[in-house]
Every structure is written in structure tokens, then in C-alpha cells.
């Protein structure tokens, strides 16, 4: 989730780094699976620009390359799934196939949910985007009188990113082993993590630069709770998950479980692989604790960009972007990708995310008509960016230069 690792991996890995762990060597893979879906039972799939065989080949290639234990993807047009597929092994050491409808940790895609709730509160007149954070959370930030709500949501606050601290994200084998044994079960306090991050020098004065910082969204979650009297999790589920009937989506506080069907993730230690699918997500909080599925994420994206969740004024603010210096523009909890790093289509709107071995990508067009969603259990190889770029291109693009 940190910018440090995002820069290393490239723009399509932005927001997946920091908490994305390395994975164990892959077990013998189960066959890839694919499904093409079209209106009407038994009707052949006919989707402009979607070649099911090519999409499946790319999924298989990612697993065969050693970059991932499994991956899955879905393409949705007009609210209908037109293709979905999966490759790899759901459980190491077995031939169990990956369920393309399964659930996974979505990491920083959670930020888009959190930002949507904040913008709903803006639309209700309970929060003002350009009001200082100090107005709502007095004494929480040293520069709270100069950092605005908008600057939290678009990462221009300058706040130090707490995930750059090895106490929260291991940077060596010893730290990773400690995390596996004990730290992944700890419950972390957002207020404590924000306080500790505030003791570190900011990256720049508020509004004078851009740097991805997960601390911003811990503060945003605290803001939601102060204004509504309910936790950010409760508000996301009350305002988004339940109304949209996102049955695979949850925003856990501290539960280490992924409920429902899901593939496993592994962390590689010098002594061998360890199953680390279960972890306490409180370390990610409002910036990355979510669990979902490709179907639910596509539905969320469609509702968001079709204006179901936000009024036009707030959706316009969400899409008001700033440059990042990484070849991608950032709005309020949303990324805009143009044609870059080999991605042959655009602009695409959405977010990437990752947390300890699991990465996810949600991108689609500006009017919510088409979505491409990918989830992958990464090994963390040096060439991961090129592989993931190709994977996202295959899923998000029509193949003819059009936006997903």
C-alpha cells in the first residue's frame, strides 16, 4: 500500500505495495477455467472486443510465469458479466481449481468505498471538502488547521505514510517471520497509527505536492466516525454494501477470516511457505481492510459512475484529479489511468489494491457501462509490473484501443 513500493513496481501496482507479501512456490496448477456469459440461457457469447480464449491464455500465462499462485478476472458490460475466468491453484499442494466467483482481500480499493461515504456526507452538508480537518477532529493532526478533507482524499496532505514504518510492514526476513508468528493477529488502533505517523516529519507542506499515504485514509475513517457516530465500516456497509446488495462484500474491523469461497495466499519465509490467508485487517483500516468479489466490485463501480451513489456535484469532485508524477492522476479515492506503461486503452477510472499477497484491480469507463476486474495472488517478482500490466490490459481493454 505504500508509495515506496508503488514507485518500484510501477503505476499499475500503485496502492498494491507495502502490504503485498511474497508468496511460496506454486503447487501443480489446476486447469484454467473460463466462462463466457451472454443474455439468454444457452446463447453464445458475443461481446465486442472480448476474446475469451485470449483472456484465458493471459490468466494462464501469469500463473505459469511464476508470478502468481492464482488469478481471476471478470468483464462486465451494461451490468451483465460477458466473461469471467480463473487460473491456478486455490490451495497449495492440491489440484483444486480457483472459483472465479470467489472472494478476496481488496486492499486499497477500500479507499474508493471510504471516499464515497465521505462525499455522501459532503452532499448532506455534514462535511465540507475544503474545511480543515481540525474542524472535525480537533487535536488529531499537528497541521490539522492547514490540512483539508480534500487533501486527505487525494493524497496532497503531505502526511507521513505509516506503512513505511517497519513496525507495520516488514522490510526483512526477521520482520516478516515476526509478522507471520504474531503481528498478523494483532488488532491495531487507527488513532494510534495516526498519532505515530504524525510524529514523523511530513513529506511536504499541505497542498504542496502529492504522495500516496495510507495515513490519509485512517484519518478519513476517523472523520466518518466523528461526524456520523458510527464506524467507517458500519457506514460503508449501511450506505453502499446493503443498498447495492453486495453479498460478497464486507468491511471487517479485526476479523482475520474471509468468509465464503476463496483461494489461499501464502508468504515465503526462509524456512518455507506459510499460509497467511488469515490476518487481522485492522492494520489497513479504512484504507485497505475490505473483502469482495469481482462481481461485487464491478457492481460498485457501475453504481458509482452512473451516479447511483453520489450526486453529480460530488461525483464531479471525486473525478477532479491531480498529477502524481507516476503517470497516473488521482482524484478523491479514485485513480485515472490514461494510455501508459503499455496499457493500450483509456482513460480508465478505478483503483488498485493489495494486502499481504493478494492484489486486486478495478477499472472501468467514466460512465459506468463497462468494468474489468482482476484479482491475483502475487509472488512479488521483479517483473511483476509488466505481467500485471498485460493482465489488466487483457481484462480492461477492448483490444482495439477503447476504454474498458
Residues designated as active site: 108
Distance, C-alpha 183 to centroid of its chain:
22
Cis-peptide into 347, omega within 30 deg: yes
Tell me the CA distances in angstroms from 223 to 156, 309, 315, one per residue in order. Answer: 17, 19, 20
Go through the chain and tell me how many residues it has: 404
Q: Are 321 and 244 spatial neighbours (Cβ–Cβ below 8 Å)? A: no
Cis-peptide into 124, omega within 30 deg: no
- 97-111 as b/e: b if 16+ CB within 10 A: bbbbbbbbbbbbbbb
Rounded to 10 degrees, what is the CA torsion of 120, 163, 281, 132?
Answer: -20
Q: Whole-angstrom Cα distance, residue 180 to residue 195?
A: 25
Q: Whole-angstrom Cα distance, residue 105 to residue 251?
A: 10
Q: Whole-angstrom Cα distance, residue 69 to residue 74?
A: 18
27: closest CA among 264, 262, 270, 269? Answer: 264
State residue 35 phi and psi, 5-degree precision: -140, 125
Amino acid at each position: 500500500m505504500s508509495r515506496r513500493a508503488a514507485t518500484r513496481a510501477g503505476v499499475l501496482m500503485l496502492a498494491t505495495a507495502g502490504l503485498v507479501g511474497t508468496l511460496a512456490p506454486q503447487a501443480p496448477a489446476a486447469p484454467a477455467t473460463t466462462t463466457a456469459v451472454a443474455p439468454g440461457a444457452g446463447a453464445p457469447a458475443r461481446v465486442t472486443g472480448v476474446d475469451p480464449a485470449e483472456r484465458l491464455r493471459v490468466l494462464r500465462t501469469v500463473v505459469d510465469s511464476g508470478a502468481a499462485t492464482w488469478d481471476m478476472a471478470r468483464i462486465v458490460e451494461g451490468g451483465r458479466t460477458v466473461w469471467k475466468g480463473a487460473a491456478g491453484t486455490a490451495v497449495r499442494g492440491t489440484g483444486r481449481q480457483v472459483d472465479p466467483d470467489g472472494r478476496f482481500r481488496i486492499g486499497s480499493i477500500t479507499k474508493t468505498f471510504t471516499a464515497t461515504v465521505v462525499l455522501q456526507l459532503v452532499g448532506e452538508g455534514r462535511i465540507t471538502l475544503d474545511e480543515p480537518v481540525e474542524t472535525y477532529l480537533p487535536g488529531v493532526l499537528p497541521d490539522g488547521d492547514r490540512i483539508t478533507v480534500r487533501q486527505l482524499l487525494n493524497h496532497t496532505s503531505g502526511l507521513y505514510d505509516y506503512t513505511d514504518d517497519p513496525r507495520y510492514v516488514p522490510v526483512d526476513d526477521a520482520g516478516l517471520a515476526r509478522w507471520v508468528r504474531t503481528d498478523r493477529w494483532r488488532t491495531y488502533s487507527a488513532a494510534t497509527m495516526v498519532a505515530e505517523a504524525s510524529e514523523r516529519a511530513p513529506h511536504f507542506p499541505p497542498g504542496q505536492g502529492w504522495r500516496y499515504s495510507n495515513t490519509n485514509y485512517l484519518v478519513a475513517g476517523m472523520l466518518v466516525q466523528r461526524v456520523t457516530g458510527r464506524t467507517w465500516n458500519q457506514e460503508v456497509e449501511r450506505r453502499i454494501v446493503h443498498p447495492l446488495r453486495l453479498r460478497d462484500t464486507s468491511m471487517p474491523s479485526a476479523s482475520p477470516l474471509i468468509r465464503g469461497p476463496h483461494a489461499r495466499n501464502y508468504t515465503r519465509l526462509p524456512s518455507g511457505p506459510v499460509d497467511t490467508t488469515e490476518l487481522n485487517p485492522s492494520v489497513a483500516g479504512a484504507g485497505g481492510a475490505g473483502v469482495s468479489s469481482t462481481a461485487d466490485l464491478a457492481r460498485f463501480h457501475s453504481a458509482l459512475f452512473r451516479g447511483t451513489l453520489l450526486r453529480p456535484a460530488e461525483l464531479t469532485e471525486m473525478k477532479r484529479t491531480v498529477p502524481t508524477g507516476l503517470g497516473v492522476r488521482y482524484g478523491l479515492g479514485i485513480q485515472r489511468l490514461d494510455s501508459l506503461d503499455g496499457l493500450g486503452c483509456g482513460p480508465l477510472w478505478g483503483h488498485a489494491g493489495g494486502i499481504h499477497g493478494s492484489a486486486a484491480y478495478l477499472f472501468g469507463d467514466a460512465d459506468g457501462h463497462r468494468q474489468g476486474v482482476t484479482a491475483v495472488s502475487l509472488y512479488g517478482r521483479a517483473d511483476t509490473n509488466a505481467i500485471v500490466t498485460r493482465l489488466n490490459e487483457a481484462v480492461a481493454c477492448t483490444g482495439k484501443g477503447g476504454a474498458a
